[in-house]
Amino acid sequence: MKKTFIISVSLLILISVFVNINVYAHPPENMKLKYDFLNQTLYVRIEHRVSNPLNHYIETVIVEVKEQEYVFNYDSQPTTSIFTYNYTISADCGDLINVTAYCNIEGSIKRTIIACYNAPPIVKIIYPEEGQEVNNTVRIEGISYDADMDDVVYEVEISFDGSGVWHLAKGTNNWYYNWSTTNFSNGVHRIYARAYDGKNYSQLASINVTVNNPEDDTTPPSINIEKPREGYLYISDREIMPIGTTIIIGKITVKANARDAESGMKKVEFYIDDELRYTDVEAPYEWEWKEISFGIHEIKAMAYDKKDNSSDESITVFKML
């Protein structure tokens, strides 16, 4: 009983440190803004977790636009956690809208949005270059960013030859994807990239490259760790949200995507801190890591084809319980 209590208290402390979640904090934890330019309506989504919304609440919301100030006062809040207010606010495209929400007990939060239609994100392929000859495993690299600054780029995806099949790249603002060209015929192929900001996809970025692989199978298989994703929080094998650091609470199923077009796949090995923990000989390649642990670890997945060519990918995580 005493051990269980200590673990529970430690868990709450750690989550508050690494995820910046404090259920009992007086100030609002988060605020997101959305402006409907066509209807001249501002949506203010506030996260303010309280036990009693009649005694502890968002008391005032102040909206500033074009040197004009709108003040909205309240004597309670609609829920004990997350709620949305909407206001009719006149703004021109390009105007800055500043919003500040004040707690009746302590603290405030401020956010800014640009009034206009949501601009889609921008994505660019940096490597390889247009017309470049490639072979074996190629690390496709690029950048992406949100054009109107009120959103973040949630993900970047890669596709080939207009197939309509999209593969998730690693990272967002600076992203990459390990492409095994041995799964494709020699000749010209087109690489496509797109970014998503939670509202819109970007215009497609694309380049042509020439695949030229030797006939002998000396090419390692391709492998990508699909779970856990870099920068996400996982609790009991469930992906919760992006937080910038990969944190795992409880067990997790480590998943890897491995392929080899020449001799075929032989196996995938899963390592924790360079210690072999599990070998999977058939797809889908996955392993449940349920060992109780606390601290920083490296997860590595190593793929072997039937000619014993190998490649690996790793991710650093913080695990507790």
Tokens coding 246: 């990969």
Architecture of the domain spanning 222-320: Sandwich (2.60)
Question: How does pLDDT run across 224-245, given as a tens digit for each residue?
Answer: 999 999 999 999 999 999 999 9
The reply to whether 122-211 shares the fold of 17-114 is yes
Phi-psi sector, 307: left (phi>0), alpha (psi -120 to 50), beta = alpha
pLDDT at 122 over 50: yes
Structure token digits, residue 107: 């603290």
pLDDT at 5 exceeding the cut of 60: no
Report the C-alpha gap between 182 and 303 in whole angstroms.
Answer: 15
**Higher local confidence (pLDDT), 112 or 13:** 112
The domain covering 17-114 belongs, at the CATH homologous superfamily level, to: SOR catalytic domain (2.60.40.730)
Q: What percent of the chain has pLDDT over 70?
A: 89
- Please determine, for residue 23, whether its predicted confidence score (pLDDT) is greater than 50: no
Q: Looking at the predicted structure, is the pLDDT value of residue 151 above 70?
A: no
Q: Where are the domains of the chain?
A: 17-114, 122-211, 222-320
Residue with the bigger pLDDT between 37 and 268: it is 268
Residue burial 44-82, b: 16+ Cβ < 10 Å; e: rest: bebebbbeebeebbbbebbbbbeeeebeeebeebeeeee
Residue pair 270/301 in contact (Cβ under 8 Å)? The answer is yes
Does residue 321 carry a pLDDT above 70?
A: yes
Helices (H), the chain: 2-19
The predicted pLDDT at position 4 comes to: 53
Q: Reply yes or no on whether the pLDDT at 156 is more than 70.
A: yes
Using an 8 Å Cβ cutoff, are 51 and 80 in contact?
yes
CATH architecture of 122-211: Sandwich (2.60)
Are 248 and 234 contacting, i.e. CB atoms less than 8 angstroms apart? yes
Phi, psi (degrees; rounded to nearest 5) at 39: -100, 5
User: CB count, 10 Å around CB of 84?
Assistant: 12
pLDDT at 167 over 60: yes
Of 145 and 75, the one with more pLDDT: 75
Give the C-alpha separation, 242 to 233, whole Å: 6
Place of tokens 């009034």: 115
Q: How many residues does the chain have?
A: 321
Question: Is the CA virtual torsion 157, 141, 302, 137 positive or negative?
Answer: positive
Give the pLDDT mean for 32-39: 84
C-alpha span between 256 and 270 (Å, rounded): 9
Q: What is the pLDDT of residue 6?
A: 52
Stronger pLDDT, 103 or 11, i.e. the higher one: 103
CA–CA separation, 292 and 250 (whole Å): 7
The per-residue pLDDT for 92 is 86
Q: What is the pLDDT of residue 199?
A: 80
What is the rounded average pLDDT of the residues 259-277? 94
Q: Residue 23: how many CA atoms within 13 Å on its side-chain side?
A: 6
- Are the C-beta atoms of residues 104 and 57 closer than 8 Å to each other? yes
